[in-house]
Structure 1
């Protein structure tokens, strides 16, 4: 079991320790052959860094037999934002099978690593892609104890080309598995069913030399038995099923990408609709408030109209009759001053139209202005006496 305290101590320099712990815990729970440990990793530029890695074996199913493939998965300190660095770690009695997925140093190259997507790619998906890929092309093969050949010299025996043997006319299936070159199509995350965990020593740790397919017939007999035909048919069917499965994976991945894009567009549309609904609700509340105020004002206006309708008619002259001599003097002065203002205006219109000359205009305006000034001074004094000016 993983010691959480020790693992968290190892991950003290990692940027996302919680995410790394979740990833490692999920892997160890499903694949007990892998265990975390801390070690120094040397990069291509010569720098060394202390990193956490998952070391152990993963189970693959090759021709109905389960083998444990030793691997080492190094987690960068920016995990899960960047893909891990993976290696096949052969034991002394194994050899690395160089292919498009594994180089001569055992480093693993997979489309899943190349197209690593933060947030959706994880270690459990990576291991499942490794299992499917290595089940088709095993990355190691057993060293021969006699002549160092990875398969017996029988021309009719099924030779394990996927375990490091160069392709020949007797290979059980095409070495490229239907691809003309380059990487195979990427596998979607978690698209493969999880394999049950296997203890490290519950199965043969790697495919031993000469134990593939049916028993090997006697050397040099030249006889093709029913077992060979049956094995060839099984291999052809297996290859066809794998090819169909990969095509289905590609189609499913394209559909998933389309659905994800549609989901993002729907989320953006939902956000816009939510903001519009909030704005509409706010405007609706303001409108309801204004309607309430308008109804109150309408009710007040109706009450005032009803009250005025019930009153007797008012005489205009009585309405302007003052209650005190001071107010009457103020009212008369205001009316006379307004009349003088109108008289000065019409004098200006008469001058403009040529009805009177300039001398008459200036003489009359001077007289009216002097009288207007006296009336304004009188109104100011009346307002002060009446207490209308503070």
Structure 2
């Protein structure tokens, strides 16, 4: 059972703690043999940092038998922007099987790690790729008593630097690594040498025809069950290759679907924004239509009321209550008329109807009258107590 509160405390210094927590919980739900812990990790430059890692075993099927492969996956504090750092952690009675996927120190090199894509590559997918790859090339083998060499008790991991996508190792298989691409036979429990204590059988043995003593004594012939076992092994290896190809194909399809899903999600957000603006504009338009209809009704009523009334003389309609106000009204009307006269005099000059001399003479006369009228209006407003 994973302690989520402690795990959240460990991930508090990570850049994306929620994403890392989700990936760890997803992996531990599928693979109960992996347990998250926090330990110090030393980089090439000597710097040390506390990182969360997943340590334990993953089930790998080899030649029809399931084995527990011990691994350790370090999650950097920039996860998932950078790939995890993965190692095989053999026990004291095991040795590392060097291959194109695992170097002598146990570090794991996979295309999934070197081609790690942020927000697309997942920790669960990495472990599934490990299971398929190690099912074809086991990363460890049990030590035999004859070539047993004490394994270093200190940290066997190199201190990687900031490069999380190292090139593939160029080293080959060691001379004592067994037959062909398979690890040597693990020692049996009858020899007195302890086997790897797991609920599954010991780590894989080479060959598809059983043990060297399985031939019929004295005849050198192969039994029918040996041929059957060889055929089953060949079929299993072919199925594993097909499964790996299908897994990679499905993974590429999933990445394409995720990208399409993200684009659709962004398009949905844009469409929702456009629909929201359209609904607001529709609401405003409805309000304006209602207001215009009300104003139209008011105008219709006013027109109907005016049409029913008798014609009114404008001069009779405008009346004053005192002689002072009448003088002010007459001065205002005459001043407005002079303003119009000056304007049309300017238009006549522009069109060439009158000469400049006539224009200037008439404008001086009209301006003098306009000035006097404005003075009268100001005097009247002062007497009436109106604002000037």
Query: Same fold per TM (> 0.5)?
Result: yes
User: What residue is the counterpart of 2:303 in the other structure?
Assistant: 305
Partners in 2 of 1:343 and 1:384 — Cα distance?
27
DSSP 3-state at the match of 1:87: strand
- Do residues 99 (structure 1) and 99 (structure 2) align? yes
Which of the numbers 233, 257, 260 marks the counterpart of 1:259? 257
1:4-23 equivalences under 5 Å are 14-16=14-16, 20=20, 22-23=22-23
CA contact (8 A) 2:209 2:227 kept: no
The runs of 5 or more residues in structure 1 that have no matched partner are 149-162, 172-198
Partners in 2 of 1:333 and 1:146 — Cα distance?
131
CA contact (8 A) 1:144 1:209 kept: no
Q: What whole-Å deviation, never above 9, does each CA across 1:209-251 have from its counterpart, x for those lacking one?
A: 7897477215784423322321222122122222322232233
CA contact (8 A) 2:55 2:73 kept: yes
> Which shifted more, 126-135 or 297-306?
126-135
User: What residue is the counterpart of 1:207 in the other structure?
Assistant: 204
1:227-242 equivalences under 5 Å are 227-242=225-240
DSSP 3-state at the match of 1:167: coil
Partners in 2 of 1:331 and 1:10 — Cα distance?
90
The runs of 5 or more residues in structure 2 that have no matched partner are 149-175, 183-195
Partners in 1 of 2:322 and 2:334 — Cα distance?
19
CA RMSD between the two structures: 4.1
TM-score, scaled relative to structure 1: 0.72
1:160-199 equivalences under 5 Å are 164-167=177-180
Distance change >3 Å, CA 211–CA 91, structure 1 → 2: farther
Partners in 2 of 1:323 and 1:6 — Cα distance?
93
Q: What whole-Å deviation, never above 9, does each CA across 1:94-129 have from its counterpart, x for those lacking one?
A: 332221211122211122322334445444433332
Q: What whole-Å deviation, never above 9, does each CA across 1:16-35 have from its counterpart, x for those lacking one?
A: 55655554455445444334
Partners in 1 of 2:329 and 2:92 — Cα distance?
123
1:59-78 equivalences under 5 Å are 59-78=59-78
Which of the numbers 283, 287, 290 marks the counterpart of 1:289? 287
DSSP 3-state at the match of 1:68: strand
Residue 302 of structure 1: CA displacement?
0.7
Distance change >3 Å, CA 2–CA 381, structure 1 → 2: closer
TM-score, scaled relative to structure 2: 0.72
Partners in 2 of 1:280 and 1:202 — Cα distance?
65
Distance change >3 Å, CA 69–CA 259, structure 1 → 2: closer
Q: What whole-Å deviation, never above 9, does each CA across 1:12-63 have from its counterpart, x for those lacking one?
A: 6555556555544554454443344454433334444444433333222222
> Which shifted more, 339-348 or 281-290?
339-348
CA contact (8 A) 2:208 2:233 kept: no
> Which shifted more, 326-335 or 363-372?
363-372
Partners in 2 of 1:146 and 1:386 — Cα distance?
130
User: What residue is the counterpart of 2:313 in the other structure?
Assistant: 315
DSSP 3-state at the match of 2:214: coil
User: What residue is the counterpart of 2:172 in the other structure?
Assistant: none
CA contact (8 A) 2:216 2:223 kept: no
Q: What whole-Å deviation, never above 9, does each CA across 1:184-207 have from its counterpart, x for those lacking one?
A: xxxxxxxxxxxxxxx963123423
Residue 304 of structure 1: CA displacement?
0.5
CA contact (8 A) 1:14 1:78 kept: yes
Residue 299 of structure 1: CA displacement?
0.9
Partners in 1 of 2:43 and 2:98 — Cα distance?
21
Q: How many residues get paired?
A: 348
CA contact (8 A) 2:209 2:226 kept: no
CA contact (8 A) 1:143 1:209 kept: no
User: What residue is the counterpart of 1:326 in the other structure?
Assistant: 324
Partners in 1 of 2:349 and 2:87 — Cα distance?
110
Partners in 1 of 2:342 and 2:12 — Cα distance?
95
User: What residue is the counterpart of 1:43 in the other structure?
Assistant: 43
Distance change >3 Å, CA 307–CA 12, structure 1 → 2: closer
